[in-house]
Amino acid sequence: MHSNIVGGSTAKRVIACPGSVPLVQQMPPKPSSEYADRGTMLHNIISEILEKDLPGQQFIGTVYEGIIHTQELHDEKIVPALDAIDEIDPGQQMVFKVESLVDFGDLLPGVFGSADLIGRLGNRAIVLDWKFGDGVAVEATENEQLMFYAAAAMRTKGLEWAFAGASEVELIIVQPPAVKRWVTSLDRIQQFEQQLVMAVHKSAQPDAKLTAGEHCRWCAAKPICPLMTGEIDRALHRQLDSLPAEQIGQALEMADRLEGWISDLRALAFQMLENGKPVPGYKLVPKRALRQWVSDDEALTWLQEQGVDATETKVISPAKAEKLLKKSKTALPDNLVVAVSSGTTMAAESDPRPAVVDLSKMFSKLKGN
| Residue of 17, 88, 115, 172 that binds ligand SF4 (CB under 6 A) | 17
Residue 21, CA atoms < 13 Å, CB-side half-sphere: 25
Pairing of strands 67-68, 63-64: antiparallel
Any contact of residue 222 with ligand SF4 (CB under 6 A)? Answer: yes
Any contact of residue 73 with ligand SF4 (CB under 6 A)? Answer: no
| Residue of 13, 38, 77, 120 that binds ligand SF4 (CB under 6 A) | 13
CA distance 59 to 143: 31
Any contact of residue 69 with ligand SF4 (CB under 6 A)? Answer: no
Question: Minimum Å distance from CB 28 to ligand SF4?
Answer: 16
CA distance 160 to 153: 8
| Residue of 98, 169, 221, 268 that binds ligand SF4 (CB under 6 A) | 221
Q: What's the per-residue H, E or C state across 62-116?
A: CEECCEECCHHHHHHHHHHHHHHHHHHCCCCCCEEEEEEEEECHHHCCCCEEEEE
User: Which lies closer to ligand SF4 via its Cβ, residue 19 or residue 56?
Assistant: 19
Phi, psi of 316 (to 5 degrees): -70, 160
| Residue of 23, 41, 42, 268 that binds ligand SF4 (CB under 6 A) | 23
Any contact of residue 210 with ligand SF4 (CB under 6 A)? Answer: yes
CA distance 232 to 212: 13
Question: Minimum Å distance from CB 219 to ligand SF4?
Answer: 3
- CB-based contact 171:143 (threshold 8 Å): yes
- CB-based contact 81:176 (threshold 8 Å): yes
User: Which lies closer to ligand SF4 via its Cβ, residue 151 or residue 227?
Assistant: 227
In DSSP terms, 178 is beta-bridged to: 175
The piece of 90-98, 108-116, 152-160, 225-233 that touches ligand SF4 (CB under 6 A) is 225-233
E strand intervals along 122-234? 124-130, 168-175, 178-184
Question: Minimum Å distance from CB 3 to ligand SF4?
Answer: 16
Any contact of residue 219 with ligand SF4 (CB under 6 A)? Answer: yes
Kindly list the distances between the CA atom of residue 96 and the CA atoms of 83, 100, 181, in Å, as whole numbers in the listed order.
16, 10, 17
Farthest CA pair distance, the chain: 82
Any contact of residue 85 with ligand SF4 (CB under 6 A)? Answer: no
| Residue of 7, 10, 12, 20 that binds ligand SF4 (CB under 6 A) | 20
Question: Minimum Å distance from CB 213 to ligand SF4?
Answer: 7
| Site size with ligand SF4, rule: CB under 6 A | 16
| Residue of 164, 228, 233, 321 that binds ligand SF4 (CB under 6 A) | 228
- Binding positions for ligand SF4, rule: CB under 6 A: 13, 17, 19-20, 23, 210-212, 215-216, 219, 221-222, 225, 227-228
